[in-house]
Amino acid sequence: MDLSALTAISPVDGRYRRQVETLAPYFSEFGLIHYRVRIEIEYFIALCEWPIPQLDGVTADQFPALRAIYEQFSEADAQRIKDIEKTTNHDVKAVEYFIKEKLKGSPVEPYLEFVHFGLTSQDINNTAIPLSLAEARSMEIEPLYRQVYQRLQQLADQWDAIPMLARTHGQPASPTRLGKEIRVFVERIEKQLHLLSDIPTAAKFGGATGNFNAHAVAYPHEDWKQFGNQFVEKLGMVRSQFTTQIEHYDMLAALLDAFRRLNTILIDLDRDMWTYVSMNYFKQKLKEGEVGSSAMPHKVNPIDFENSEGNLGIANALFEHLSGKLPISRLQRDLTDSTVLRSIGVPFAHSVIALKSLLKGLDKLELNQAAINADLEDNWAVVAEAIQTILRREGYPQPYEALKALTRTNTKITADTIRQFVDELNVSDAVKTELRAITPFTYTGL
């Protein structure tokens, strides 16, 4: 079968392709090849700007034509590199040969041997991949997390004054406000986004075993460490100073763990929203023609929160594997990182799918305040904490035990039950007035 959305093995490239296609320029095979070409070209230009004496003939007015190779990079160009790879059986060497092929007949042709000069493949990969990830984060991924954050802020403000029964261990507990419960997630996400922004994008650039061996033997008087630092910084990253053949990936692991923590918070949110829907605290906006169940016509399922939770779970499983695997490599390098890194876009794709589903679910919610109020009215026992606390303040004997005796009887506690209890207390009229003012609707704290 030819590859299509119907025949793709992964749902990322099948069922969900339309939701994640904007990630393809960063994480697809085309994207990886494109970024490799970009790094090779920028490295060649950096050598010219350093300058290397043998490159004096390459002038700045030729740089736009060099950059056009990656700025105008096409799928046909990527396919040409794949065709070259069939002969070389080496993907990065195929990129080098492609660039040399493109520059034949140009003013730069006499200097072609300075393409990929002194480098190993991982100098290209360990700059291309973190750069593609950084730009994908900036353009496509983090804006979605911030969109969820902002939507939650809006809902927290909208529902700020809505009293709601809290539940701890699944049982009725001291009332809260719906807006505050949403704000819990706002704060959690905000802190994680802040931590995420502090993680540097690290790159490895230092030759076959991280020592600039080839560079130093060819030009022993050049400060290659400074060159490497400047080159990587110009790309918007920081160069790891001491490496083997590959980046040690500690910063990448920290980044993946940060996204995993964000996703864990959102799984918690998905489950809470799902539960509120099941409790009828929210109704869901209906869409003409949609079906909730193939057997039960009445069903309107919280599928967006379920879809989000499922995709976040897949993403987190991959994030955990990647962050645990990538920093481990035998001696100066084995090939396991290369295989694993090819899947770096998959957990981000599942995260994007999840975020879009979560946003869709949030936008479908319609507050059912009648159900929320009915739950509060049905649980007057939750004001027991308030009453016993005030009685403690007044020096009343054993107030906790008195309220425990009142409320733990398997007899329904109503407003009348509480009113009668207060009337019979041996306290001042002022305190009784204070106690009578406490209801499940007003006892919501700060």
For residues 412 and 384, state if they share a domain.
yes
User: Is 213 inside a domain boundary?
Assistant: no
Domain count, the chain: 3
350 in catalytic set: no
The enclosing domain of 258 has a CATH number of 1.20.200.10
Is there a single domain that holds both residue 191 and residue 290? yes
Are 149 and 185 within one domain?
yes
Could you tell me if 293 and 431 lie in one domain?
no
Domain, as residue range, for 83: 11-117
Active-site residue, selected from the candidate residues 106, 138, 278, 293: 293
Residues 255 and 354 both lie in one domain: yes
Which residues, other chains included, contact 204 with Cβ-Cβ below 8 Å and sequence gap of 6+?
Answer: 122, 123, 126, 127, 210, 239, 240, 243, 246, 247, 248
What integer pLDDT is reported at residue 405 of this predicted model?
Answer: 87
* Inside any domain, residue 3: no
Both 42 and 146 in one domain: the answer is: no
For residue 433, give the CATH number of its domain.
1.10.40.30
Same domain, 397 and 364: no
Last residue of a domain, one of 347, 368, 389: 368
| Residue 164 DSSP symbol | E
Cβ–Cβ < 8 Å for 205, 228: yes
CA atoms of 141 and 288, how far apart (whole Å): 31
Rounded average pLDDT over 200-212: 97
362 and 401 part of one domain? no
Residue 423 CB burial class (10 angstroms; 0-12, 13-18, ≥19): exposed
Shared domain for 288 and 172, answered yes or no, is yes
Task: List, for residues 369-408, the tens digit of each pLDDT value.
Answer: 999 999 999 999 999 999 999 999 999 999 889 888 888 8
224 within a domain of the structure (yes/no): no
Is residue 406 included in any domain, yes or no? yes
**Catalytic site residue from 169, 194, 221, 298:** 169
Average pLDDT rounded to a whole number, residues 32-53: 97
Residue 179, pLDDT above cutoff 70: yes
Q: Are strands 202-203 and 238-239 parallel, antiparallel or unpaired?
A: parallel
Pair 185, 44 in one domain: no
Same domain, 71 and 105: yes
The mean per-residue pLDDT over the stretch 430-435 comes to 96
Which of helix, strand or coil describes residue 176? strand
Nearest CA-CA partner of 128 in 241, 33, 225, 21 = 33
User: Are 85 and 104 in a shared domain?
Assistant: yes
Percent of the chain scoring above 70 in pLDDT? 97
**Digit-coded pLDDT (tens) for 320-343:** 999 999 999 999 999 999 999 999
Residue finishing a domain among 91, 117, 143: 117
Is 106 contained in some domain?
A: yes
**Of the residues 368, 391, 419, the one at which a domain ends:** 368
Give rounded-to-5 percent helix, strand, coil for the chain.
Answer: 65, 5, 30
Using alpha carbons only, how large is the chain's radius of gyration in Å?
31
| Alpha-carbon 397 to chain mean position | 53
Beta strands in 194-296 (DSSP E): 202-203, 238-239, 282-284
pLDDT of 268-295, one tens digit each? 999 999 999 999 999 998 776 565 555 5
For residue 66, the domain's CATH number is 1.10.275.10
Give residue 288's pLDDT: 63
Give the pLDDT score at 410. Answer: 79
User: Considering the entire predicted model, what is its pTM?
Assistant: 0.94
Does a structural domain hold residue 237? no
Could you tell me if residue 76 is inside a domain? yes
pLDDT digits (tens, 9 = 90+) for 127-143: 999 999 999 999 999 99
